[in-house]
Amino acid sequence: MSSKKRAGGYEACRDLSGRRIRTVNQAKLVDEYMKRKNELEATKQAEIRAKMEKAIHAPNQKAIFQDTEYIQQLRNIADETELATNEALFGEEEEVLDLLDPHGKLPVNSIRPASSSQKRK
């Protein structure tokens, strides 16, 4: 709508030697990068070397999770879920508790096979 041109859109123009200004600017950037390339690679290698040395000289540090309340909640939830599943499979809670071994696990031989009417064809 406006016939005014934007200021700063000169990269598509050509310089006195006939090359586009965009190409000249890109060539300058590549030249600067090539001059700094060895320095950049050396700093990357130094960072990697420092990280490796730190890992080698550091003692074996393992993250220790010590939230006992959370761990107890996890165990309770797992136990309650297993008990509810066993109740659904075998009936009353007392029957399930009678089937459990001293470690609170359901023995493999106590699992009832599905009757022929329950099997799918």
Query: Would you say 32 and 43 are in contact if contact means Cβ atoms under 8 Å apart?
Result: no
Length of the chain: 121
Q: Which residue has the higher pLDDT, 17 or 55?
A: 17
Which residues is 14 bridged to in the sheet? Answer: 20
CA 119 – CA 65 distance, rounded (Å): 45
Mean pLDDT of 90-112: 62
- Least confident interval from 33-37, 56-60, 84-88, 112-116: 112-116
CA 21 – CA 15 distance, rounded (Å): 6
CA 37 – CA 32 distance, rounded (Å): 8
CA 35 – CA 82 distance, rounded (Å): 66
pLDDT in tens, 66-84: 888 999 999 999 999 988 8
Helix segments in the chain, DSSP class H: 21-57, 68-90, 93-99
Domain ranges of the chain: 11-61, 68-110
Percent of the chain with pLDDT over 90: 36
pLDDT in tens, 5-49: 665 678 889 889 999 999 999 999 999 999 999 999 999 999 999
What is the predicted pLDDT for the residue at 11? 85
What is the predicted pLDDT for the residue at 20? 92
